[in-house]
Structures are given as C-alpha cells and as structure tokens.
Structure 1
C-alpha cells in the first residue's frame, strides 16, 4: 500500500497526463454538486491531492439524490450559477446538451475516450457530442445472501422468474430474527422507487407510453407489475419500505437484514457482509429492460465563468489516472474504484481479484437495452429520455409509494398516476 505522499505523487503524474497543469501559484475555487453516494464521498478525500497539485480549491455540496436533482435542475435551467460542476445522469445529459444548458466536453488524447464503455458514452451524448463524463456507471442485478439461500434450500438463477424470486424471498424471510426476504426501493422519486419499479414493469411487458406518447399506466402489464411489487415488498420486505432508497437499503444489507436486494450494480462495491452472490435481473417473460442503465456523470453548466478549470477537473476525475489514484489510496484500493465506465478497469487483474462482482456487473451493463422498441417509443430503460419525464415520474412515484404503504389500492394509485401523466403530456403538446 502506497503512502499518502506517494499517492499524491502518482496523482500529480496523472494530472499532468490527463489534464493541462496549472501554472505555479494559480488558484481557483470550484463548487461541485454531488450525489451523496459512496464513490462521490470517496472522491472528496482522493481529490485533496488534486488541490495540492493544482491549487484549485474544491467546495463540495453533497445532496440526497432527489434533492440534488431538484436543485441542480432549477439552478441550471435558470442559469443561476450556483455550481461550477454538477452531477447529472443519462436522463438529463442528452436533453440538457441539446438545449444548451451544459457545455460540450472535449478532452486530450491521453484521456482515451475510446476506453469508455460504449453504453456510457452513447447515453451521455447528443448527436455524437459528449456532454457529461461518467464518474461511475451501473446497471442493476440481484445481490443475494447465498449462505441464507443455501440454508433454506432455495436457489437464485440469472434472469430468474419473479415467481422464483418471491419463493426465495419467502424462504429466507425471518423478521423475528431481523432478516427480511427482499429489500427493494420504495422511496418516492423518478430516480428512486421508479428506477426499480420501471424495470419490473418492463419485465412484465409494459411501458410508460404508447407509440403516440399517451401514458399506459392502467394497462394490464402495469397492474400486474405493481400488484406483484406491492405484494412482494409488503409481505417480505422491511417495515417502512416506502421510505427506503439506495442508501437506506445499503445500510440494512450491511447490517445483515436483507436476504436479497435488486438494485444498482455499484452497490456491490460497498457490501460488507459475507455470503453474497450475484445474478442477472429477474423477469416475468420479457427480459428486455429488466435491468437498468445509468451513470452518475459530471457536467459543466453553460456560461460558467470557471468552465476551463471545471473541465480540467472533470477530465482528471473521470480518467484512468483517477481510478489508479483510488486503487493506490491508503484508505481505498482496487475494490473501491468507481466502476462501469472504462474497459481498462475490467481488464485489470488487480480489479478482477478485488471485485467478485465484476463479471456480473459487466454482463448487466452490456445487456441493458435503452433503445426504442416496438413496446416503447422512447430511449431509456428505467426512464424515458424526454423533458417531461421527471415531472411524470415524480407524480407517479408518489402514487406507487402510497400503494406500497397501504394508503391507496393499486388500482387507485394507477388511476391517479394515469390522470397526472395524461395532464402533463397533453399540456406539453404530445397529443
């Protein structure tokens, strides 16, 4: 393990390679809005050496996922100028790039953009121009306690049926001893509960909109999927699931309270319990869209007075040099590097040795299908890449959470969802 001094020296070389070094004594300050997930939190520590090398002070604004989206969207859309660098994802990047809200990104040859996984590069681009660089990428998969499953005499397979998943959850569900069969997202938000819920709907053969972009939220597929979701989590999930999203479930899992968790592949980097195994996402007959595709990426709001310095930081923070800096850091190592972005990470023998989830994560990313199909007319797996989707998704998320908590029946929640979505899409002029 390298010392902090050596790590900083290695970082200095990485900065010189991946970015244009700042002149001696040149100092700037950047304000960076980030989601409060593990890899982003780690970046604050790793980037201390970046400040030492470049003189650029980094002011971090770490926000819960839903709050981040709301604040960043508002500030960027109005040109508020509160942030120099923002965390956004695949839903926003192409739309905001096309609208001129964020700057196109161009990096030096040493950045090796061809090393970026095609799914990530394509999802963060508009008409071939990259508008956000992926800090980490992900799909979704089943992360289950194989030790508990073995003890209960049940198995979980790749692309398993939902019926088998429910049977496995039931077999290990032991609330008297603090173990819940399935921990799943329930907290309302288009990127919270609806990220997972949409993949369930996809796997039942449903979609958000028909070919005319009319909402289809009272279809047989949506009703079947939401009834299944509410039943599975209501019977075999932890109490108060309507308040749980990624960070809450990660904490539950690491306390040994979850038999399985179907969520972002990136979670595997932060699991601290023994006996974990991985499987590709389940489905109810339609495997297309059963696992999502996402990246938390870094972008520069248009018109930022610090855009040059911001792009230099993004170039470093999403580079091979950054991944190596995390791998060499005294507090982290190869098991903690951000994943889902670069082919070279998965080709590393050191990473493969430290990350038992690597093959499952790559398989999930490669099998994700964001393209429009005969079932859905839009790009996106767990979201629709249209400007109106965040508003639609947020409205529906509240209704699904109400169904999960028992405040509404599934039919009532979907009827209200349909009405809300129809009003939004009609006002937007789709029909």
Structure 2
C-alpha cells in the first residue's frame, strides 16, 4: 500500500532484482506453471523485503522441502489489479499472493481465498500465538477463521528531531495529544532556517492523505459510517478533525503539502526540512540507516490522540492461498516458512538485521540481535502495533473492520474521491466544509447500498 512507500531508488532497484527461483521473472514477467508437479506459483508485490525473500527461497526453502517456487513480481498497483483479476475468476494459475489486511477480509467473504485454521492447528512450530494480536485480528474474517499470515507489518507514530526540540526547550510527551503536536510545530517552525514544523501527507489517495487523516478523524471522535450505515463525512467530529489537519499543515507544514505523500515526507525529514513527521513506523528504518543524515537524531513516540487512548493505524503485507489452488498443502509450507520467526533469523544472518521483515511477531522484539540494530525505534513500533485495534479504532461502533480504512470494496474509490477535495483544501482552493459536503454525498451513496441489506 502507499502507506509505506520506500524511496524511489529502492523501488527501482527492486524492479531489476526479480530473478525467479526456477527461472528469470522480470518486471511483470512470470514463470508460472514451471518446475513440475510440486511447484507452486506466487504472485507478489515488488518491494525490497519481497525481493529478499525471492533471493533466499531456492537455497533455504526449495532445497529443504523439494518445492520449487515460481515468482511473478509486479509493482504495487499492477499486482493489485492482477491479483484481483486472478482471484475473482478463480483461475487457479497462482497458489499464493501477497495481500494486505484490507483485501483479505473482503476476499474471504467472497470465498476467493482458503481458510488457514486447519494448517495452523497442524503446524504448532509456526506458533500462531507469537503473531501480534492486532495482526491476527485484522487477518481474521467475519466467520472467525484466519485467512492470511503477515509477512511484515506496521503502525504509525510521531517522529521528531530530538536536537531541534531540545534547542527550543521543548519536551516531547511520550503520548502527545494533537493539540500538543500543533503547539510544538508552531514553536519550532523556522527556528532552524528552512525547517518547517511538521510534515503531513496531503497527496490525494485513500492510501495517501487519508491514511494518516482517518486516524485523526477516529481520535477526534469521527467515523466514515455509523454501525447502521449512516454516512458521517460532514458530521461535526469529522469536519473538526479535517479542519485541524488542514490548518496545521497549511500553517506549519512542508512546502507543496497538497502533493506530498510518504516519499516526499521521508525525503523532507532526511534532508532536514521538517522537525516532525507523523507516518508509518516502517519509515524509521530509512531514518536510522547507516547513510542517513538524521541517524541518531530522531525520537519516536505514540501516534497523537484526542479522545481515544491510541490512534496508530495497522497495515500488513500478508500471504493468502487461492481457493482454486490444487496445491494448498505446498502453499502452506511456503507461507509458514516465509512468515516464520525462523525466516527472520535467516534474513538477519544472511542480509543484516535492518532488513528483517518485522512488525508481525512478539519474538522479534525480544531478539537481542535485532534490537541492537533497531534499538531507536523497535519498542515504539511494537507498542504502536500492539495498541492498534482494527475492530474498535474510535469512540463508537463501526460497520466494518479497519483503522485507516473502512474494509469494504467501495472504500478505495470513495476515499480517493473525498481525498481530492481535502487536498484542494490544503492547497487553498476550496474550504473544508465544501470538500466534506461533497464527500458526504458520495459516502451516502455507498451507505445506502449497505442499509438496504440490513
């Protein structure tokens, strides 16, 4: 998802590293169907952690199990389209796909993916209880069955320049409120020449501006829909949250905020252009990289709140098995290896602990070798993920699971359309009231479909 977009250079490099286990699969290429009767076909996103997995599979999985793995590796938007086409048709060409906690409950309800409970029960070495509870909940469908296993996960937190705040005599609370964050942004804004107070996403998209903004809506007491499917996009709490966010980024945010997403805020933070940034916990690895100019200068605290105890989002790239697959047993063997604590140890030994696909298992955060590499952000990350509640993220009951999204198929289009108005408000081209009144009409159209089913 756009929630954790890495730097373009990394993504570009990943595109050229798509070497399949049984052959070469370039960007968009595929060796599906090769490798004999035991082989499985995996369709996955081309991010760096997945490319690491691809490189390690032949020597450490196939050699041990005798199961060849054919990878088809695609950019995020392309892989989502291909997975949707493949799994909705139940063509059976791919056995396993990389899915997020947004798609998995939807696909499970449509019976496009297979439940994993039987495999989990028969494979105690996998240790399902070691998977962090919010991850387990987010990958469990309405029928109470588990349909996915996380490869890595993230939440959100506030990142800040310790040295800049200290120079201004500012103490960052461990659990700040949004008003405290706004006050700090005002105090540090431009105290270092060219450094704004905070970076917040403003780029249109359900997974761009509305990833952080929906968490603000939740903690301000708002929601997209009530439990009985009444749209709330122009309700007072929703408006107050969006107005606060827009005012904050306009007053003390980054240049070009209306088009800034994860990558732009990452670059602004690394380059010393902002003093604070609220975004994905996965960003910390880049900020603390050996070549980062801000390594050792950053502090990490919980996502800011207003009316809730916590407000961090929850996201996981995970594995699901296509219902039409006739190789489910082999598919589970691959998933149980790729999502295991054993695999994390392998990555740490072979590639370095900074490249471990973390954010999914409690044991990761007691691993001293990992903590030695990630000490600055490991505990705040674990705490953020552990406190996330995908079923009760706000102050009122919700009709669907999800923190930074509403887990219904229509949300991708709805969130993106409403976000365009919010981005226009950040750019000063329309008011928040106008943007959300338009959004209310769109949300009510969606809600009406669900009300008719009650």
TM-score, normalised to structure 2, is 0.80
State the distance in 1 between where 2:206 and 2:89 align.
Answer: 22
Structure 2 stretches lacking a partner, 5+ long: 1-34
Residue of structure 2 equivalent to 1:366: 386
Equivalent in 152, 156, 169 of residue 172 of structure 2:
156
Match of 1:117 in 2: 132
Distance 1:98 1:335, change over 3 A: same
Counterpart residue number, 1:313: 334
CA contact (8 A) 2:61 2:334 kept: no
Counterparts of residues 35-114 of structure 1 (less than 5 Å): 36=47, 38-47=48-57, 49-50=59-60, 53=63, 54=66, 56-64=68-76, 68-79=79-90, 83-105=94-116, 106-107=119-120, 108-114=123-129
Runs (5+) with no aligned partner, structure 1: 1-23
Alpha-carbon contact 1:327-1:333 (below 8 Å) kept? yes
- In 2, the alpha carbon distance for the partners of 1:170 and 1:49 equals 54
How far off its partner does 1:404 sit?
Answer: 2.2
Q: Does residue 1:233 correspond to 2:249, yes or no?
A: yes
Q: Is the 8 A contact 1:202 1:288 kept in 2?
A: no
**Are residue 399 (structure 1) and residue 421 (structure 2) matched?**
yes
Q: Which position in structure 2 is the counterpart of 1:21? A: none
Q: 1:404 to 1:44 in 2, by over 3 A?
A: farther
Q: Aligned match of 1:169 in 179, 185, 188?
A: 185
Residue 130 (1) aligns with residue 146 (2): yes
Cα distance change, pair 430–241 in 1 and its aligned pair in 2 (3 A): farther
Matched, 1:340 2:359: yes
| DSSP 3-state at the match of 1:129 | coil
Contact 1:159/1:287 (<8 A) preserved: no
| Cα root mean square deviation, aligned | 2.8
What is the match of residue 6 of structure 1? none
Deviates more, 1:370-379 or 1:134-143: 370-379
Structure-2 change in CA distance of 1:40 and 1:358 (3 Å): same
- Give the stretch that moved more between structures: 217-226 or 120-129: 120-129
| Structure 1 counterpart of 2:16 | none
Q: Residue 12 of structure 1 aligns with which residue?
A: none
Q: How far 1:80 moved relative to its partner?
A: 5.4
TM-score by length of 1: 0.84
Aligned residues of 1:136 and 1:339 also touching (Cα < 8 A): yes
The CA deviation at 1:268 is 1.7
Identify the match of residue 352 of structure 1 among 334, 348, 371: 371
Q: What secondary structure does 1:419 align onto? A: helix
CA distance in 2, matches of 1:35, 1:425: 34
SS of 1:130's equivalent in the other structure is coil
What do the CA deviations read for 1:82-139 (whole angstroms, capped 9, x no partner)? 6543222222212311321112222423212222112211210123422111011222
How many residue pairs get aligned? The number is 403
